[in-house]
Structures are given as C-alpha cells and as structure tokens.
C-alpha cells in the first residue's frame, strides 16, 4: 500500500494561496466534483498548453458539476501574470509551503534531468468526488488530450 492517498481516500484538506492573496483548500469545493491538476512551472510550453486546455473546457467541466484548480509551487504573483498573459480561466493556487498538498499526495518528488537529481512537481491530476474522496488519479500525465480525458471521467462520475 502506498503511503500517499489514492483512489477511495479522502483528499487531504490543506490550504494553498490564491493569486489574489486569499486561500483555497479542497473542502471549499465540497458537494461538487473537483479536478486538481498539478503542473511543474508557469509559462513553460507543456504547462501553458495544459492550463489553456483546462481553461478552454472550463464551461464543459462546470456543466458536468466539476470545478477546476491548477496547482504549482510558483508564487501567487507569478500565477497572476501567467493568468493575465494567457487569458486562463481555470483557477490557480500556489502550494509553496513544505508539507503542502503536493507533499501530502507525493507529487512533489525527486526528479531527474540531464543526470541531475532535483525536487520538482510531477505532472499529475486528481478527480475528487463531491464526497471529498479521490475518484481517479492520473500520474505522469502527457499533456496532449489530457484535459479531454479528465472531462470524460468527470462526466462519468
């Protein structure tokens, strides 16, 4: 058994900072389905595409009773610039604190690139049911077609 929460477990209720300086946590969405997508960094090609894809489908997610929340470790001010630059409509949150939601889920993890090991955000998505329990997990996400796959799962839930 994994030490991290998975399908059937409650999503940890850990607060994160919003670009407006407020805070948001999974329980704020109780009674709705929630998609939390974790991505490595604002304004990088894959992350920009992923955020634009989720933003483009936001109305369809809402029609399926599902709210969206994109999460990275980027500071709130950087999120605000990222949102403005690309016209993003999917809300973003900053999970910068040690022991935050990404740590609790195991998506802030050791990564390797060019022979160097470093800590980074794993591109992963969680679909949470209205009861606050994790319904589906996508780990090691490939961006192309991902938002559509998540929307289909949200509709089926």
Both tokens of 148, joined, read 């559509």
Compute the distance between CA of residue 130 and CA of residue 137 in angstroms, rounded to an integer: 15
Place of tokens 């949102």: 83
For the CA atoms of 1, 73, 32, 10, the dihedral, rounded to the nearest 10 degrees, stands at 20
- Of residues 43, 54, 109, 47, the one with CA closest to residue 78: 43
Would you say how long the chain is, in residues?
157
C-beta of residue 35 within 8 angstroms of C-beta of residue 68 = yes
Q: Which of 24, 34, 47, 83 is catalytic?
A: 47
Question: Does the annotation mark 110 as catalytic?
Answer: no
Report CA-CA distances (Å) from 19 to 38, 72, 73, 118. Answer: 16, 12, 12, 26
Which residues are tagged catalytic?
47
């Amino acid at each position: 058994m994994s030490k991290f929460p998975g399908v059937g477990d409650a999503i940890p209720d850990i607060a994160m900072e919003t670009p407006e300086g407020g805070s948001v946590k999974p329980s704020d969405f109780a009674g709705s389905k929630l998609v939390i997508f974790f991505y490595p960094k604002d304004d990088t090609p894959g992350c920009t595409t992923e955020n634009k894809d989720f933003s483009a489908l936001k109305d369809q997610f809402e029609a399926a009773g599902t709210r969206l929340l994109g999460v990275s470790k980027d500071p709130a001010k950087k999120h605000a610039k990222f949102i403005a630059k690309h016209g993003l409509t999917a809300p973003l949150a900053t999970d910068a604190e040690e022991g935050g939601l990404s740590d609790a889920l195991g998506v802030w993890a050791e990564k390797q690139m060019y022979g160097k090991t470093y800590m980074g955000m794993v591109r992963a998505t969680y679909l949470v049911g209205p009861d606050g329990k994790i319904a589906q997990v996508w780990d090691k996400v490939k961006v192309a077609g991902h938002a559509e796959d998540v929307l289909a799962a949200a509709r089926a839930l």
